[in-house]
């Protein structure tokens, strides 16, 4: 019996290492922000990174050169988030100054400013076809914007407390939201109604993201757990933990077999989806790590920290 259990454990470890053959190491440290770095995102081609910061700026970095190539200035307060458009030509950002701004990557100029929300805007996301933007603000409301007209066209709904993140599903038919009310919302874009409310976390939910195929959602919370949910049924499938304190962001790798998370414990961690086991822990930041992302090919990780640095791992 003991020998059988031992062999099973060895097989599980073997499966984990086969699923995540790459071992990540620190490649570069990017410096330039004068304030805390809140989010970091890869460009669609994986060659650049966009970052947002409490210093009120949005910056673009060339990964190969390891240096800043654009600095967008215009926000009058902390910038909570910034992302590339699906074609990589623009960057969208949101801020505590209650605005959403669109920037031209090539010229470095501001293209459009939206001020439809009455509260600071916590997060924004592009649909994969680039036609729509979804935003969440401190007023707990989820809004859908039309890119061609730059107008808010629909309110999808709201949470009981502030919403921390929002993301389109891969097919652009749904969005997922995470909230301080300890729930995850799944919303229908066409009808604007809530399809499901995922409950289970015992503290505020900081982040919820779709799997690459759209069949699952992974979430992280201040209860220090990572949970995987089935989109169709709304059921919780798995729960695992490892970070010593609250987590800030989580995301699937492109292959859907690995998850990356970051935390106030100053680490970035990789997890095997099937077993829930921690694969690797990346250390080096000297403060809270609120933002992490994975390159489109899955070979590079970027992290941003309150220590004002951006780190590239590969």
Burial of residue 230 (number of CB atoms within 10 Å: 0-12, 13-18, 19+): middle
Give Cα 237 distance to the centre of its chain.
Answer: 21
What is the 8-class DSSP label of residue 12?
H
8-65 pLDDT per residue, tens: 344 444 444 444 458 999 999 999 999 999 999 999 999 999 999 999 999 999 999 9
Domain membership of residue 182 as a residue range: 26-313
143-184 pLDDT per residue, tens: 999 998 988 899 887 888 888 899 999 999 999 999 999 999
Answer whether residue 7 is part of any domain: no
The CA distance from 12 to 94, in Å, is: 43
Answer whether residue 92 is part of any domain: yes
**Residue 273 vs residues 36, 116, 135, 270, 283: alpha-carbon distances, Å:** 30, 39, 29, 10, 21
Q: What is the pLDDT of residue 76?
A: 95
Report phi then psi at 202, rounded to 5: -100, 5
Average pLDDT of 215-241? 96
Answer whether residue 132 is part of any domain: yes
Residue 222: HSE in the Cβ half-sphere, 13 Å Cα cutoff: 11
Give percent of the chain above pLDDT 70: 92
Spatial contact of 234 and 227, defined as CB atoms under 8 Å apart:
no
Read off the CATH number of the domain in which 202 is found: 2.130.10.10
**Would you say how long the chain is, in residues?**
314
Answer whether residue 223 is part of any domain: yes
**Residue 285 vs residues 153, 310, 311: alpha-carbon distances, Å:** 41, 9, 8
The model's pTM:
0.91
Answer whether residue 19 is part of any domain: no
Report the domain count for the chain: 1
Taking all residues of the chain, what is their mean pLDDT, rounded to a whole number?
Answer: 91
Q: What is the pLDDT of residue 18?
A: 43
Q: How many CB atoms lie within 10 A of CB 69?
A: 12
Answer whether residue 20 is part of any domain: no
190-225 pLDDT per residue, tens: 999 999 999 999 999 999 999 999 999 999 999 999
Please report, for the chain, how many H helices and E strands are present, in that order. Answer: 1, 28
Answer whether residue 5 is part of any domain: no
Average pLDDT of 256-280? 96
Answer whether residue 1 is part of any domain: no
């Amino acid at each position: 019996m003991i020998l059988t259990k031992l062999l099973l454990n060895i097989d599980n470890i073997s499966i984990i290492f086969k699923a995540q053959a790459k071992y990540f190491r620190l490649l570069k440290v990017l410096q330039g922000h004068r304030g805390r770095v809140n989010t970091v995102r890869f460009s669609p081609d994986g060659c650049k990174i966009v970052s947002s910061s409490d210093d009120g700026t949005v910056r673009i970095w060339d990964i190969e050169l390891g240096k800043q190539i654009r600095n967008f200035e215009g926000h009058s307060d902390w910038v909570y988030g910034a992302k590339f458009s699906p074609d990589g030509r623009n960057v969208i950002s949101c801020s505590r100054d209650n605005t959403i701004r669109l920037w031209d990557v090539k010229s470095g100029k501001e293209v459009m400013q939206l001020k439809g929300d009455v509260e600071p805007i916590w997060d924004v996301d592009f649909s994969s076809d680039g036609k729509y933007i979804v935003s969440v603000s401190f007023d707990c409301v989820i809004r859908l914007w039309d890119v061609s007209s730059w107008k808010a066209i629909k309110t999808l709904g709201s949470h009981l407390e502030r919403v921390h993140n929002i993301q389109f599903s891969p097919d652009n038919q749904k969005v997922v939201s995470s909230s301080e009310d300890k729930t995850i919302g799944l919303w229908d874009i066409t009808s604007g109604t809530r399809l499901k409310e995922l409950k289970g976390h015992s503290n505020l939910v900081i982040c919820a993201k779709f799997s690459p195929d759209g069949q699952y959602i992974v979430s992280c919370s201040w209860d220090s757990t990572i949970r995987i949910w089935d989109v169709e049924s709304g059921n919780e499938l798995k729960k695992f933990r490892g970070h010593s304190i609250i987590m800030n962001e989580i995301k699937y790798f492109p292959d859907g077999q690995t998850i990356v998370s970051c935390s106030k414990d100053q680490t970035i961690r990789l997890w095997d989806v099937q077993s829930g086991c921690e694969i690797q822990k990346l250390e080096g930041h000297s403060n809270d790590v609120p933002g992490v992302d994975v390159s489109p090919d899955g070979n590079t990780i970027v992290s941003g920290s309150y220590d004002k640095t951006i780190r590239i791992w590969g």
